[in-house]
Each structure stands twice: as C-alpha cells, then as structure tokens.
Amino acid sequence: MQLTVKELIEHNNEKRKNLTSENSEYYQNLLVYIRTNALKSERATEEVLLEMLDHLLEAQREGKSAEDVFGKTPKELAEEIIETLPKESFKSKLDFILEIGFMLFGWYLVITGIPPFISQEEQTVYLGTLLLSGFLLIGSITTLMFLVFGFLKSTAFKDKSKKNKVNWLLVILFVLFFIGGIGANVMLEPFGPSFTVSYILPFGLGCFFLLAAYLFKKSRESK
C-alpha cells in the first residue's frame, strides 16, 4: 500500500530521531535545501528524502558517517537530486496556492471581524477598498513566502548561529508584514461602491476560509 505524503513526512520525522547528532545535522541541511524547491513534486521529494534517510541509517549502523555516504559537498549533491525530481502538477500547485490563500484570508477576516462581532454593529464595506486591501495582502504574503524560502535555502548549509539569526529575522518579517497589511487596511481612505453587511459576516467568512484551507491541506496530504 502506497504511503500518503503525510505518512512519508511522519516516517521521516520518526526515523531521523535515530541519527547521531553529526549525521542529523548533515541530513537536516539536505532536507531543508531540497524541500525549499516548491516547484518540484512533493511526493517525489519526500520519497527521495526517506530513501536517503534509510540509506544513511543503514550506513550508520555500519559505523559510517553522512560524509562517508553522501560526500563532503552536500549542496552540490542536493542540486543534483533536485534536478532529477519531477515538477509538481498544475493542479497540485493550484491546490497549494488556494490552501495558503484561504488560510491567510481566513485569519485576516477572523482578526478584523472580531471587533464588529463583539459590538454587533453592521459594517459598511467599500468595494474599492476591499479589492485594494486584498491585493496588498496577497502581494505582501507572496513576497514574504519568497523571502522565507530564499532565506531557508541560503542558510541550509550555514552554521547554527547564522540559522538562528535568520529564524528571528523571518519571525520579525512575518509580524511586520501582517501588521503592515492590517495597518494599511485601516489607514486606507474608503472608496468605491459601498454596501452594508451583517456584523457576523467577516468573522463567519473567515471561519469558512479556514475550514476550506484545512480541507485542502487534508486532501493534499492524503495523496
């Protein structure tokens, strides 16, 4: 029976616990570098990573290190592996984009919908402002995702101190982008056609988007 992507990842997480600290660091760097190539097939990527891990564990039992097995140039090895991986299908890419989009819009609507939900006051929505806010949110999050993948890939084979600095930088960037998106929405002058919506609609719609994102995630992981 073929394992799902989620099961492949879970197997990988569990088996990595059996690696020595030295081998774990070597393999973890390979894993991060290879996984950050989002255009490649997720299933093929996880299958190759698990196969490599099994090979490393077997060699480790024979007293060999990761360098003995994979060589002293892990970055070059990772690039070679990435070249052999098939590209992700258009449908899978679309599903992933929708999953992320629904999740982000969901949290955005839930957070901005809490005040009117508590006050139970109807909200006036301006179509122009709504569309511009959505465009700014998508643009900022897309930029942030490219930065995250770029930073992770560039530091995959760096020392731990540099990785920790990058991790903190990513957290700060995420907070700034999210706060900036909400702040821009608040400061925008309302424009465009307007209509009134129930106080419960933003919060309820946000919950709906979060549920849709969860269903997309479950569907992706079950393949």
The mean pLDDT value of the chain amounts to 84
Q: Quick one: pLDDT at residue 185?
A: 63
Angle, CA of 94, 95 and 96, to the nearest 5°: 90
Question: What gap in Å lies between CA 147 and CA 48, rounded to an integer?
Answer: 25
Clarify whether residues 105 and 74 are in a common domain.
no
Domain boundary among 84, 106, 131: 84
Q: Is 119 exposed, middle or buried (0-12, 13-18, 19+ CB in 10 A)?
A: exposed
Q: Quick one: pLDDT at residue 77?
A: 92
Our count of domains for the chain comes to 2
- Asked if residue 220 has pLDDT above 90, the reply is no
Clarify whether residues 99 and 131 are in a common domain.
yes
Average pLDDT over residues 146-162: 71
- Asked if residue 162 has pLDDT above 70, the reply is no
Question: What gap in Å lies between CA 186 and CA 206, rounded to an integer?
Answer: 18
Clarify whether residues 80 and 129 are in a common domain.
no
pLDDT digits (tens, 9 = 90+) for 25-84: 999 999 989 988 867 888 999 999 999 999 999 999 999 999 999 999 998 999 999 999
Q: In the structure encoding, which two tokens stand for residue 174, read together?
A: 């995420």
Clarify whether residues 114 and 175 are in a common domain.
yes
| Amino acid of residue 169 | L
- Report the range out of 15-24, 120-129, 155-164, 180-189 with the highest average pLDDT: 15-24
Q: Quick one: pLDDT at residue 123?
A: 82
Q: Which of 69, 96, 80, 126 minimizes the C-alpha distance to 217?
A: 96
Is 199 within 8 Å of 123 (Cβ atoms)? yes
Clarify whether residues 137 and 200 are in a common domain.
yes
> Higher pLDDT residue, 97 or 14?
14
- Asked if residue 119 has pLDDT above 80, the reply is yes
- Asked if residue 184 has pLDDT above 70, the reply is no
CB within 8 Å of 195: residues ≥ 6 apart: 124, 125, 127
Domain boundary among 84, 104, 127: 84
Q: Quick one: pLDDT at residue 178?
A: 66
Average pLDDT over residues 163-172: 70
Report residue 157's pLDDT band, with 50, 70 and 90 as the boundaries. Answer: confident
Region for 63 from its dihedrals, namely left if φ exceeds 0, alpha if ψ lies in -120 to 50, beta otherwise? left
| Amino acid of residue 135 | F
59: part of which helix (H) or strand (E)? Answer: helix 42-61
Q: Quick one: pLDDT at residue 12?
A: 96
Clarify whether residues 114 and 63 are in a common domain.
no
Clarify whether residues 63 and 118 are in a common domain.
no
**In terms of DSSP H, where are the helices of 122-200?**
127-154, 160-187
Q: Quick one: pLDDT at residue 191?
A: 81
Q: Quick one: pLDDT at residue 209?
A: 94
Domain boundary among 35, 63, 84: 84
Clarify whether residues 40 and 108 are in a common domain.
no
Q: Quick one: pLDDT at residue 97?
A: 81
* Burial letters 163-175, b for 16+ CB under 10 A, else e: beebeeeeeeeee
Clarify whether residues 117 and 161 are in a common domain.
yes
Clarify whether residues 101 and 122 are in a common domain.
yes
DSSP state of 17: G
Clarify whether residues 214 and 174 are in a common domain.
yes
Q: Quick one: pLDDT at residue 186?
A: 67
Average pLDDT over residues 139-159: 73
- Asked if residue 166 has pLDDT above 70, the reply is no
> Residue 122: which domain range?
90-221
Clarify whether residues 101 and 56 are in a common domain.
no
